[in-house]
Homo-oligomer: A and B are copies of this chain.
Amino acid sequence: MEFSSKLLENAVYEVSQLPGIGKRTALRLVLHLLRQPEAQTKNLALALQNLRSEIKFCKKCHNISDTELCEICANPKRETSLVCVVEDIRDVMAIENTGQYRGVYHVLGGKISPMDGIGPSDLNIATLIEKAKAGEIKEIIFALSSTMEGDTTNFYIFKQLEPYAVITSTIARGIAVGDELEYADEVTLGRSILNRIPFENSLKSEQ
């Protein structure tokens, strides 16, 4: 692609560095900004810069926060001995939306993925083990994506936790609520039969 302007070329290049955005889409977005009032571009640039330079991560759970301690960790009504391990802040938001969880979180910041060069030391695992060592945790719930990387990460942390008296569990893998049985894959269906739960429990959870 040849550009008539260095400024334009530069802007398109920077936007196309974002994941899932190619050069054409980047050009479309940049040209859109040029058609909008200048304030919009200014606000966008400022919001991104402020976020990147001023963002804090909760020192307890590594969730994104504007304060030292995030709202969840600072809430005295939360059970701090029940810790849900998630990949990133989107998962915290998703679980919070269910309104079913009263414990706190621990945000890893990713999954162990040798293919992408992400090892255990790149994630917030050490601080979780520290908390377990200090006896602050009764139960850890693994809530990572059900992928190879997620399972690897679960297993790595599980092994690290062995010396300490911590109950570990994972969120239930099974058929999604509202799904037709015939479209479920074999592995999921197989596991949902192996890990079947008492019928009374399924009634309770819907309340």
**A149 CB → nearest B CB, Å:** 15
**Interchain CB contact (< 8 A) of A5 among B17, B18, B31, B55:** B55
The interface bits of chain A over 43-62 (1 if a CB of B lies within 8 angstroms of the residue's CB, else 0) are: 11111111111111000000
**A8 CB → nearest B CB, Å:** 5
**Interchain CB contact (< 8 A) of A10 among B18, B27, B50, B93:** B50
Q: Are B33 and A48 in contact (CB under 8 A)?
A: yes
A29 contacts B by Cβ under 8 Å: yes
A40 contacts B by Cβ under 8 Å: yes
A178 contacts B by Cβ under 8 Å: no
Q: A103-143: which have CB < 8 Å to B?
A: 109-110
Known contacts A7-B55, A32-B19; decide if A90 and B27 are in contact (CB<8 Å): yes
Q: Are A14 and B43 in contact (CB under 8 A)?
A: yes
A64 contacts B by Cβ under 8 Å: yes
Residues in B neighbouring A15, C-beta threshold 8 A: 44, 47-48
Top 7 closest pairs, chain A to chain B, by CB? A45-B45, A41-B52, A11-B51, A14-B47, A14-B44, A11-B47, A45-B49
